[in-house]
Amino acid sequence: ADMPARMRAAVEADRAVAVGGGCGDGRCADGPVAPLRPIAATNVQVLDDEHEVCAAALAALAASRSAAALRDVIAAYEAHFAHEEELLDAHLYTGVVAKQAGGGGGGFDADAGARTSHFTDHTRLLDALKAQAARGGETVPAAFVDATLRGFETHANTYDDKYAARLAAAMA
């Protein structure tokens, strides 16, 4: 079955990260990493600023492929994801959070599904970075770095783009 290009890109990025950035045998070719592609604006200035911090950390990782730059990406993601989740829970997912606090129930809830998949993707992205950091070494494989950049692009342009208008309106 044909799947949309965005979904196919997300699945391919997931697969690449899951096998160590496309390095199933542990060996990656050295080489330049393609720069980060454009990220859709969320129209919430603080989140767009945080995306710029993440993008700068990713660019530094692509340029140096160093363990220190990898740690900087982890720190940028941790700060951004925690803040984004806090804003989403406070402004878009208040009903979901209240329902969960009260024991859940109530059948299908599109916001609950969106919240779960979005926040799970944050965990997936961080887990891949932390697993790579735990492997040690001073140089991060180029294929892993590339998969990391593509993963951020896919996440921001798929998940974050979906809440942009609603969150901007709710925070106005």
Mark 113-130 as b/e (b = at least 16 C-beta within 10 Å): ebbeebbebbeebeebbe
pLDDT exceeds 80 at position 19: no
Using alpha carbons, list the distances in angstroms from residue 136 to 48, 91, 160: 31, 39, 31
Beta-bridged to residue 139, according to DSSP, are 66
- Over the stretch 123-168, which tens digit does the pLDDT of each residue have? 999 999 999 999 999 999 999 999 999 999 999 999 999 999 999 9
Q: Residue 144 has which token pair? A: 């892993």
- Over the stretch 53-71, which tens digit does the pLDDT of each residue have? 999 999 999 999 999 999 9
Beta-bridged to residue 66, according to DSSP, are 139
Helix and strand tally (H, E) in the chain? 7, 0
Q: Which is more confidently placed, 21 or 31? A: 31
